Amino acid sequence: MERVDKILSGGIVLTMNAAMDVFVNGAVAIKGDSIVAVGTADAIAEQYLADDLVLCDGQVIMPGLVNTHTHVPMTLLRGMADDLRLDVWLIGYIMPTEQSFVNPYFCRLGTKIACAEMIRSGVTMFADMYYFEADVAAAAAEVGMRAVCGQTVLKFPAPDAASYEESLQYTRQFIQTWKGHPLIVPAVAPHAPYTCTDEILSACAALAREFDVPLIIHVSETRQEVEESRAEFQMPVVPRIKKLGVLDAKTLAAHCVHLDSGEIRTLFNHRTGVAHCPTSNLKLASGIAPVREMLERGLNVGIGTDGPASNNDLDMFEEVRLAAILAKGATLDPTAVPAKQALLMATRMGAQAMHMGEITGSLEVGKRADIIVVDIRTLHNSPKFSRDEDAIYSQIVYAAKSTDVRHVMVNGVWLMRDQQLLTVDEAALLAEANALAEKIDQFLIAREGDLLNKLIAIGGVERAESFEIQVKSHLPQRVDAEAFVAPLLSDPRVQVVRKSHYRQYDTYFTFNDEAQGRVRYREDDALNAEGEVTHVRTRLTYTSPIKEREFDRAVLLSRSQFIAPATRPLRFYREYFRASAEYEVHKTRHRWHILYKGVLFYLNVDELLLPKVDGTFVEIKSQTWSMRDAEYKATLVSELLALLGMTEELRVHKEYIEFATA
Amino acid sequence: MERVDKILSGGIVLTMNAAMDVFVNGAVAIKGDSIVAVGTADAIAEQYLADDLVLCDGQVIMPGLVNTHTHVPMTLLRGMADDLRLDVWLIGYIMPTEQSFVNPYFCRLGTKIACAEMIRSGVTMFADMYYFEADVAAAAAEVGMRAVCGQTVLKFPAPDAASYEESLQYTRQFIQTWKGHPLIVPAVAPHAPYTCTDEILSACAALAREFDVPLIIHVSETRQEVEESRAEFQMPVVPRIKKLGVLDAKTLAAHCVHLDSGEIRTLFNHRTGVAHCPTSNLKLASGIAPVREMLERGLNVGIGTDGPASNNDLDMFEEVRLAAILAKGATLDPTAVPAKQALLMATRMGAQAMHMGEITGSLEVGKRADIIVVDIRTLHNSPKFSRDEDAIYSQIVYAAKSTDVRHVMVNGVWLMRDQQLLTVDEAALLAEANALAEKIDQFLIAREGDLLNKLIAIGGVERAESFEIQVKSHLPQRVDAEAFVAPLLSDPRVQVVRKSHYRQYDTYFTFNDEAQGRVRYREDDALNAEGEVTHVRTRLTYTSPIKEREFDRAVLLSRSQFIAPATRPLRFYREYFRASAEYEVHKTRHRWHILYKGVLFYLNVDELLLPKVDGTFVEIKSQTWSMRDAEYKATLVSELLALLGMTEELRVHKEYIEFATA
């Protein structure tokens, strides 16, 4: 007889191993953090002894569920805002709340609540992507859960980093600190192809390869993302990230809703794991992922709840069930993704998708003891049929609930026994969460008075710009625009992408409380070569009152702008915003989109008609996402000015509205 | 102070009334079976006194959920067979099991288990459709639940009736017995347009109107149903049942997956209620119902779980959540069916869809006290935000679980307190259910040895015929087929629908055990006017060994046949079925589909080539579904034979295979 630490005996053991072995009256023996034996209860009883013997009659002993995609600290934002347009939800609620509240404390608290909820619902491992991921890791480790923790990197300022260089540095340090931990696997998480530049994606891929850690990324979640990728990069999402080396890492791609067959093949060839998030994809109206095709291609497709702000829970039982039935509805084939396959996705295959298949995801000798016991004697799970061997999978997937989970063990350590959590003080956490929710409520109520939210409320915003490089000069004389820019455009380093000619009628709404920022209603009349109006576009732009920062050679406007289509008449906005004052600015504009040394700039040659100002204005602008990039582009702007023959003295710092208010 | 029976106080009261009033610290007072007051806790405390005062702090007091479509006794078949093609599931498993096991005992036991499960998950009223509905009603009333009980009527023999006339008679008696019961509303349930003849549908509608009881029917559940309706009746499903008067009753239409806008308007104009069953529609791959359009049109759309054999549970919390998110995914609009609306569908609007809106579905003075209390202090339901008034709906719909339901009251009577069921002995029911499941297991295991199941296993069956009227005659001389039938076809009461000409090569597999029935593999070579083969079709037909019954004037084959496309070569079937013997029959066939007095008949004029039999065979066949119909058609057959000049002496009773085996 061999002495081991724990034996679970007498239940139906679903090994989820390659042979999908099932032991109807089975047992599992555990020593330290690992499984030392799996078999019939009799065979285990003959060979092993343990003080901690758990009898599991009438219950199912199986690998813990694997949640392959979530943002655990967002438990603290659950139910804060629902049933909204994605832009309104994200830009109007989630992002501002995150900017104001997300800090290490928030992340630890939210993670612990998430861990408690996941343990209760039978999850033993999860893949996370959020900010302050070192705190997520610390909290998960403290609770005793297994996790792949992905530190977010993106081109916008984030709660834990003002620029992407900062977050890349933070990620490197995070990986160095946590690599080799028995429960936590650190990872780098470039947020998504549309929120990262090529440079960011390449740098993240290099970092993941340098440390041989997983890389987590959102991929092709919405149709819009794919369309924009095609427009900007002339290819869909997967080829782009492949080119940048992202798939050469141990990559886990979340969502993958809008992939074509070629992209699916590419992911297979690179052993990229997929996290399928059916609830989130439905609730946010993203679409339905081609799960069956991905599975048929041989991809490792796991299942994820996504963050609890968009789900709104972390219940993997609901998620597995939905994955199984949604695939049938989507393919119009009731045999698609049967229960057995769905449960495999939620266990071993999910672990493989996370590149953790070597150590967990099934009950096999040598793997870590990540085990749950599910009570299927409940009313909603009766009766029990035995004819069909696969009926047990169907019971777990279609009828069992998360609340049927009785015991949970991770790495050989009990985290829940008889539905009592052993490593988390639920009541204390809930009290803290509710106190924080009250503060967030207050913050949002105050915020709803402000201008940006009023804008969002009536139609959403189309684009948010965080940083813009801008320089403006004034030539005292009227010039012919084409002739004036000719020397610049003939430079071999300059390539013209687009040329347009407008008359612009701007109405500015300003407010006595300058902290409100201001709103501009613009009518763009596009002109053809004969000066006739070919089409008209109206847009709203909100400009925040954040002050600008000046560089040596140009101006960096850290001013954030939100642009929305103006679908209603000016009169509506006038009444809606109730501005303190209103100003008109009319001008003509020749605009070139040019690439200079491969960087996109906007070159405007303007005549101010109202208020009437003599001479010609020349503007050069470019969008930017990091301080280093901004400095580099400021240098390029100086070079462009030199090519135009514009000297330092011609520089003006006034915005057009200031001519009207003067 | 007024004395009442019960007061629920201190919780968030969601009235779900027309104004959607919410009392954050509210209360409800109950006297007898009804609600006498709803308001703030303070206001109720000032005016009412009760011995039974239930404090509900931190909990939600709301109307019980309404499950608008289910088949409750099928709890006993839950998990018996899953992930199968619809035909395999239905014909291979559900129907034969029902034929053998469904009886009054089965229905009472299954209903009680279903009621226990529904009470646990906060359901207070359901709409049922099954067999022996008087026993369903008795069991539901015994447990204390409110139900609209629909007795099934259909053209096939059912467990509770050999013919539709029998079940219509049963239904009339059922309605007379139960009408006026405080909890049970009897209803007539013609199963579906495709399982009912025009006559059955009209008769059911008349019965429902006669007694002013609801009519429950499955409508447009699958695309195939709609296509077949168009092919057979030259219109989709709703116009057909409208024409037959079905919508003039208090009708509740389940599924409504494949409706066009005109049909939706028709349902609205007739105040037809709709039961939306999202889980079932996904799991059985039926499709996604146009819920948003139906709601925008003003239809009362409720939510239903469908039967637990196709769901596999009766959890309305899961169902409401899925209804809310699936509508968003299907319309690609995240604002579709917000939580508030989804919860309305599951309460007041569901009651209205069931034509029960006058007495239940919301917390209003005078309505029956059908109330649940949901504990939202659980971990998966935290934190609690208060800024947005609708956040409480979002919590209930997106985060709460059925297991959060604490108390349930129907008609002023407690059915569950502190999650303890008060009117059902769960343990005893489960023991009975498991004993029955063992017997069903044995039955199915034995059955899997048989021929029909082997046929089903390899490709499903396309069509099952229960009864066929058939007569065969033999003319000693060879005749020209066209000339021979000319007198018949020229009769003004005869209309030719289709004419075809085949060479048929049949291979019969027979078995020493005659109880096995037999299988025929047929190759049909269609011939054009020049006798050239234009296309080839191969089919399998299984014929059961049930004996035929003879009428006065013709023969009624009660023999049931199952027809499947033969997608594999003959050799495969030879090996697969391992027949005891094999026979070949070759013939040429001229076939006319004719309508005689509006009834469809098949007229075959055959020459037997192998075995070689001189002369000409003439067959007349027609499908039938009830005894009375069969007798009527037998009369018509006699008339057709007379028109052909065929006398009694020419009649033969041998099947073609009998010439080969002779």
A265-283 confidence digits (pLDDT tens) = 999 999 999 999 999 999 9
Q: Which residues of B touch A436 (CB under 8 A)?
A: 383
The backbone torsions φ and ψ at residue B170, rounded to the nearest 5 degrees and listed phi first, read -60, -45
Residue B379 is nearest to which of A116, A281, A321, comparing CB atoms? A116
The shortest CB-CB distance from B436 to any of A326, A383, A445 is to A383
H or E element: which one contains A151? strand A146-153
Determine whether A597 is exposed, middle or buried from the number of CB atoms within 10 Å of its CB (0-12, 13-18, 19+).
middle
Instruction: Give me the pLDDT at residue B462, please.
Output: 60
Q: Taking CB atoms and an 8 Å limit, are A329 and B279 in contact across chains?
A: no
Residue A584, token pair as written in the block: 């008109």
User: Chain B residue with minimal CA distance to A121?
Assistant: B380
Strand partners, A556: A469, A549
How near does any CA of chain A get to the CA of B321, in Å? 10
* pLDDT above 80 for A572: no
Fold of B453-661: Hypothetical Protein Pfu-838710-001 (2.40.320)
Global pTM reads 0.79
Phi first, then psi, for residue B327 (nearest 5°) are -65, -35
Coil, helix or strand for A562?
Answer: strand
Structure tokens, A187:
């990872």
Q: Which two tokens stand for residue B250?
A: 């208090």
Q: In this predicted model, what pLDDT tens digit does every residue of B348-393 receive, in sequence order?
A: 999 999 999 999 999 999 999 999 999 999 989 888 888 888 899 9
Distance between start and end Cα atoms, chain A: 93
Interface test mutation site (partner A, options B82, B91, B343, max chain A beta carbons within 10 A): B82
- Which residues, including other chains, have CB under 8 Å from residue B354's CB and lie 6 or more apart? B66, B68, B125, B127, B148, B214, B252, B273, B302
* Average model confidence (pLDDT) across chain A: 91
Q: Which chain B residue has the Cα nearest residue A313?
A: B399
Which residues are within 8 A (CB) of A364 and not within 5 positions of it... i.e. 6 or more apart? A15, A17, A35, A38
Cβ pair B313:A430 closer than 8 A:
no
Report DSSP letters for B316-349, one per residue. HHHHHHHHHHHHHHHHT-TTSS-HHHHHHHTTHH
| Cα A398 from Cα A340, distance rounded (Å) | 11
Residue of B nearest to A387 (CA): B441
CA distance B495 to B564: 29
Q: Kindly report the CA angle at A528 between A527 and A530, in degrees rounded to 5?
A: 110
User: Above 80 in pLDDT, residue A86?
Assistant: no
Classify the C-alpha dihedral B152-B153-B156-B160 as positive or negative.
positive
Say if residues B139 and B126 touch (Cβ distance below 8 Å).
Answer: no
Q: Using 70 as the pLDDT threshold, list the residues of chain B that sit under it.
A: 85-88, 91-92, 448-449, 456-466, 546-560, 625
**Three-state secondary structure call for residue B188:** strand
Q: State which residue of chain A sits closest to B447, comparing Cα positions.
A: A387
Nearest to A379 among B89, B116, B322 (CB): B116
Listed in sequence order, the residues at least 6 apart from A359 whose beta carbon sits closer than 8 Å to its beta carbon are: A351, A367, A368
Q: How many CA atoms lie within 13 A of A354 on its CB side?
A: 35
Do the beta carbons of residue A43 and residue A21 sit within 8 Å? Answer: no
Contact call for residues A394 and B283 (beta carbons, < 8 A): no
Per DSSP, helices labelled H in B367-465 are 391-394, 426-447, 451-459
The torsion region of residue B83 among left (phi > 0), alpha (psi -120 to 50) and beta comes to left
Q: Would you say the ipTM is above 0.90?
A: no
Question: How many Cβ atoms from other residues are within 10 Å of residue A312's Cβ?
Answer: 30
A-interface mutation test, from B398, B415, B436, B440, most A Cβ less than 10 A away: B398
What b-and-e string marks burial along B519-553, b requiring 16 or more CB atoms within 10 Å of the CB?
bbbbbbbebeeeeeeeeeebbbbbbbeeeeeebeb
Q: What is d(CA A364, CA A545) in angstroms, rounded to the nearest whole number?
A: 60
Sequence letter at residue B480: D
**Contact residues, chain A, for B324 at CB < 8 Å:** 283
Q: Which residues contact B560 (CB under 8 A, 6 or more apart)?
A: B464, B465, B466, B467, B543, B544, B546
Search chain B and give the residue with CA nearest A435: B383
At residue B654, what is the residue type? K
pLDDT tens by residue, B198-246: 999 999 999 999 999 999 999 999 998 999 899 899 999 999 999 999 9
CA distance B538 to B506: 10
Q: Yes or no: say if B185 and B221 are a contact pair by the CB < 8 Å rule.
A: no
User: Tens digits of per-residue pLDDT, A123-165?
Assistant: 999 999 999 999 999 999 999 999 999 999 998 888 999 888 9
What value does the mean pLDDT take over residues A560-582? 78
- Tokens at B313, concatenated: 């549970």
* Burial class (CB within 10 angstroms; exposed 0-12, middle 13-18, buried 19+) of A600: middle
Q: Which residues of B touch A385 (CB under 8 A)?
A: 79-80, 437, 440-441
Domain coordinates in residue numbering, chain B:
1-63+361-417, 65-357, 453-661
- Taking CA A522 as the corner, what is the angle to CA A516 and CA A528, rounded to the nearest 5 degrees? 160
Helices B426-447 and B104-120: crossing angle in degrees, nearest 10, is: 130
Model confidence at A92: pLDDT above 80: no
Min Cα separation B109/chain A (Å) = 12
- Please enumerate, as own/partner, the contacts of B450-454 that have beta carbons within 8 Å and a separation of 24 or more: B450/B516, B451/B511, B451/B516, B451/B517, B451/B518, B451/B519, B451/B542, B451/B577, B452/B92, B452/B517, B452/B542, B452/B544, B452/B562, B453/B92, B454/B576, B454/B577
Q: Report CB contact under 8 Å: B75, A382.
A: yes
Higher local confidence (pLDDT), A100 or B118: B118
Distance of CA B13 to the CA centre of its chain: 36
Cα dihedral B203, B206, B211, B212 in deg (nearest 10): 130
The yes-or-no verdict on residue A580 having pLDDT over 90 is no
Distances (CA, A) of A385 to A394, B77, B88, B190: 11, 9, 18, 31
The pLDDT of residue B548 is: 60
User: Searching chain A, which residue's CA lies closest to the CA of residue B310?
Assistant: A398
Computed over its alpha carbons, how large is the radius of gyration of chain B?
A: 29
Q: What whole-number distance in Å separates Cα of residue B616 and Cα of residue B638?
A: 19
Q: Please give the C-alpha separations between residue A395 and each of A136, A569, B98, B313, in angstroms, as whole numbers.
A: 34, 58, 21, 10
Predicted pLDDT at A105 = 97
Q: Which residue of chain A has the CA closest to B387?
A: A441
Q: Where are the alpha helices (DSSP H) in B192-257?
A: 198-211, 223-233, 237-243
Q: What is the CATH number of domain A1-63+361-417?
A: 2.30.40.10
Tens digit of each residue's pLDDT (9 = 90 or more) over A319-364: 999 999 999 999 998 889 999 999 999 999 999 999 999 999 999 9
Closest CA to B625 of B165, B93, B230: B165
CB contact under 8 A, A430 and B382: yes
Compute the average pLDDT of residues A594-605.
Answer: 93
Contacting residues of B for A390, CB less than 8 Å apart: 82-83
Please list the residues that pair with B127 across neighbouring strands.
B148
**A557 pLDDT tier (thresholds 50, 70, 90):** low
Is B282 in Cβ contact with A385 (below 8 Å)? no
Residue A290's φ and ψ, nearest 5 degrees, are -80, 70
CA distances from B198 to B193, B203, B219 (A): 8, 9, 14
Model pLDDT, residue B466? 60
> What pLDDT is recorded for position A540?
86
- Write out chain B residues lying below 8 Å of A113, CB-based: 379, 382
Q: Do A117 and B380 make contact, defined as CB atoms within 8 angstroms? A: yes
Whole-angstrom distance, CA of residue B171 vs CA of residue B578: 46
* Integer Cα distance of B573 and B458 in angstroms: 10
The hierarchical CATH code for the domain A65-357 is 3.20.20.140
A·B CB contacts under 8 A:
213
Which residues in B lie closer than 8 A to residue A12 (C-beta atoms)?
A: none
